[in-house]
């Protein structure tokens, strides 16, 4: 019995130490800024948006460089409203997206698979008519070249079919009337989260971001 409790104590201490190291690393590395002296562009407005946990990148639905509605179609949403002018996209674990509409629906199986990269991924795309800039929604204006880089990053995150088109996920697990889910590339884990994906998108397009972050806090600190 004494040996059992000894091993149990070691196990608990190991888990606590790993969690503490993870959180400390997340805090420290998210405070290290990349591209902190970036000069604002004057061509394309974009936004980053958080619900308090998850970061989306928001882009114009259409401009001279890119028409997202050719692939991320209005018709894939319930509302099918083609007057929407903004498109928010976020990447994450497919099981978490589709099986966890609220935190109360989160199961151990879904959380475990997401944490350790055992599931597949999806992109959640939401159309908006307009956005209001506040502490959870930050605007930046970037150059055409930077927008090309951002578009390439996001497009490469979509899983394509044999014809090169994005693949909508047919589901009734929509969060609202103006959103849809799409198959995505990559593996979600504790070390590559939805916020890591958004942070890497900012990094790829030369915007202010964190060296690494699994959380949204570090990203939005750069845009206070």
Could you tell me the pLDDT band of residue 195, with boundaries at 50, 70 and 90?
A: very high
- Average pLDDT taken over every residue of the chain: 93
Residue 34's nearest CA partner among 214, 216, 204, 210 is: 210
**Dist. CA 136–CA 149, nearest whole Å:** 24
pLDDT (mean) for 81-107: 90
Q: What is the pLDDT of residue 13?
A: 84
Q: What is the mean pLDDT of residues 95-115?
A: 82
Mean pLDDT, rounded, for 62-77: 98
pLDDT tens for residues 118-167?
899 999 999 999 999 999 999 999 999 999 999 999 999 999 999 999 99
Return the domain boundaries, the chain: 31-221
Choose between 48 and 2: higher pLDDT. Answer: 48
Between the alpha carbon of residue 64 and those of residues 43, 60, 127, the distances in Å are: 11, 10, 19
Higher pLDDT, 101 or 42: 42
Sign of CA pseudo-dihedral 131, 132, 138, 140: positive
CA 203/CA 66 separation, integer angstroms: 20
Q: Is the pLDDT of residue 14 over 90?
A: no
In this model, does residue 3 exceed pLDDT 80?
A: no
Q: Helix (H, G, I), strand (E, B), or coil: what is residue 127? A: strand
Higher-pLDDT residue of 75, 224: 75
What pTM was estimated for this model as a whole?
0.93
pLDDT, residue 111, reads 82
């Amino acid at each position: 019995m004494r040996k059992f409790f000894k091993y149990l104590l070691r196990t608990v201490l190991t888990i606590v130490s790993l969690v503490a190291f993870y959180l400390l690393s997340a805090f420290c590395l998210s405070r290290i800024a990349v591209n902190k002296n970036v000069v604002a562009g004057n061509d394309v407005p974009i936004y980053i948006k958080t619900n308090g946990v998850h970061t989306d990148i928001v882009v114009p639905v259409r401009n001279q460089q890119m028409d997202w509605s050719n692939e991320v179609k209005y018709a894939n949403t319930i509302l099918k409203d083609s007057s929407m002018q903004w498109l928010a996209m976020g990447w994450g674990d497919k099981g978490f997206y589709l099986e966890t509409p609220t935190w109360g629906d989160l199961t151990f199986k879904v959380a475990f698979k997401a944490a350790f990269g055992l599931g597949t991924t999806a992109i959640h795309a939401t159309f908006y008519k307009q956005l209001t800039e506040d502490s959870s929604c930050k605007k930046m204006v970037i150059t055409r070249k930077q927008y090309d880089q951002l578009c390439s990053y996001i497009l490469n995150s979509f899983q394509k079919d044999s014809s090169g088109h994005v693949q909508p996920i047919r589901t009734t697990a929509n969060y609202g009337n103006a959103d849809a889910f799409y198959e995505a590339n990559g593996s979600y884990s504790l070390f590559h989260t939805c916020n890591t994906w958004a942070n890497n998108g900012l990094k790829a397009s030369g915007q202010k971001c964190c060296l690494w972050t699994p959380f949204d806090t570090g990203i939005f600190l750069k845009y206070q």
